[in-house]
Structure 1
Amino acid sequence: MNPRGAGLMLRMSLSVADLASIGFAVSPAWEVVASLRVLRDPGAHAVHLPWVGRRRAAVLASPDLRQLRDLAVTPERKLPGFLAPAPHSPVAEPETEFAAVRQTPATVVREELALVYGDRLPASLTELRRAPRRALPAIVEQIRTYWELALAPYWGRMRGLLEAT
């Protein structure tokens, strides 16, 4: 607890090897997840309201993005990690990350869905749990569709800002 008793203090112990493995990277896959969360709850992200106003209706109304929305915007703000894999370079390319999502092993998909949803898996994700190898290409197509609709027009500017921070 902090001195006022109003919060938590997190303490982590890291080895030299742990510290050496930490890096910061620009991740298009993470930007997909984060932006979907912004569209779902724009009031919590006021700085992005101009972008939300231009993109929200089209994205949230699209039935073709249902599985992606259900994966990225979960009730408890958890995330199946396979949806935003760790980048392998400081500035990952969108297609490289999308390919990594597609190549996620079936056991990893099932384990992460179980961790995030337990027995409350949305109906739209049933096929992904049942047959991940068959369903992942459709998820990746939804990611590409969303990317083109919502982020690609802004990516040059976003990438510049992310690289500058």
Structure 2
Amino acid sequence: MLRYLLTEDDVGSVRFGISPLCELGLSLRAIREPARFPLQLGWLRRTEEARARLDMTTLDGLIDERMWTPDFLNPRPSSPLTRLDDEFAALLATPPEVFRADLIAVHGHVPEIFAGSTSAALRRIVRALRQLAETCFEPYWPRMRAVLEADVVHRGRQIAQAGVAAMLNGLSSRIDYDHGVVSVRLATAGDREQAIDGNGLTLVPTMFTRRASAPIGDGPPMILYSARGQGALWENEPVANPAALAAVLGDTRAGLLSALGAPASSTELGVRFGVTASAVNQHLRALRDAGLLVSTRYGHSVLYLRSELGTALLEARTG
């Protein structure tokens, strides 16, 4: 059990971040044991050919049989807009003593492939991860990032509506918050406590954690949790076709309105509905202009959500 101890000020400064490097490192879990990540089987199928060309000798050295990865692959993101190139630059600057300690914490020793020069080992790791990013993530990252960003927006709405405590208790069945203590039930044996002490607790949504994860060592306070909304990520979504509503809005717009009970970007919706980006944007703008959707910019994405008027229209249709 990991317990983060928060003061009143710490509770008010809980933040969210998205880390592309965390996603790369944690994706090794799904590559190692696909059966444990059924929601990512679509990604695994689509990247099978590309993964056959990866430097798996290096990548395999970054994960053990418990599915642990070293903390240097799980940096605390400074914001939801963290850039992978910046994270790679920080990774290359990892001090030798930290590099070795993080590997020993996972494997009990420094794997032979990373023995010798730390700088050479880090360059090899970054090359392997960059290849993984370019071949297996870049084609799909917009839709994956849309899910992660939509999750952050959802959690922000929870805080606004019900408070930080309710949001924290809704992150995972393995996360509990009570009277200033965030308890995370991890697979590791033993208990440890860490006071936040004004350092901030960062919450990181990810596609590759089934319940909840945290750094192995006593690094910056951070919890990685499973992002919501992954279920339909790799499937085309059939358009709901309520006849009365579709007769007014059209099949696609009626389906989009039905789907937008949770925030989503035009990129994600285009994939789910099998519609081109330009077409889905046209539909979304029309629904927004009619007052049936609201939109908000989040980083590089615009997220859409059904408005109260849109919800009332759907409820009237189903009443």
- TM-score, normalised to structure 2, is 0.43
- CA drift at 1:131: 1.7
| 8 Å contact from structure 2 (residues 26, 69) kept in 1 | no
Q: Secondary structure at the match of 2:55?
A: helix
Identity of aligned residues (%): 38
Query: Equivalent residue for 1:35?
Result: 27
- Match 1:123 to one of 100, 112, 115: 112
Q: Considering only CA atoms, is the larger Rg found in Structure 1 or Structure 2?
A: 2
Count the aligned residue pairs. 151
Per-residue deviation, residues 112-155 of structure 1 (Å, max 9, x unmatched):
11211114x433232xxx32123211211111111011101111
Post-superposition shift, 1:25?
Answer: 1.0
C-alpha distance 108-10 of structure 1, shift in aligned 2 (>3 A): closer
Counterpart contact for 2:58–2:125, Cα < 8 Å:
yes
Relative to total residues, which structure has the larger helix share, 1 or 2? Answer: 1
TM-score by length of 1: 0.80
Q: Equivalent of 1:107, from 97, 100, 120?
A: 97
Q: Aligned residue for 2:131? A: 145
SS at 2:81 equivalent: coil
Aligned partner of 1:66: which letter? T
Aligned to 1:24: 16
Distance 1:63 1:143, change over 3 A: closer
Counterpart-to-counterpart distance in 1, 2:12 and 2:122 = 32
- Cα distance in 2 for partners of 1:45, 1:116 equals 21
Q: Does the alignment pair 1:92 with 2:82? A: yes
User: Greater share of strand residues, 1 or 2?
Assistant: 2
Partner residue in 2 for 1:5: none
Shift of 1:89: 2.0
Larger RCO: Structure 1 or Structure 2 (Cα < 8 Å, ≥ 6 residues apart)?
A: 1
Partner Cα distance (1:140, 1:33) in 2: 11
Could you tell me how far apart the structure 1 residues matched to 2:45 and 2:89 are? 30
Residue 92 of structure 1 deviates from its aligned partner by 0.8
Match of 1:56 among 48, 55, 70: 48
Q: CA deviation at 1:27?
A: 0.8
Structure 1: stretches of 5+ with no match in the other structure: 1-8
What is the rounded CA distance, in whole Å, between the counterparts of 1:113 and 1:49 in structure 2?
28
Residue type of the alignment partner of 2:7: S
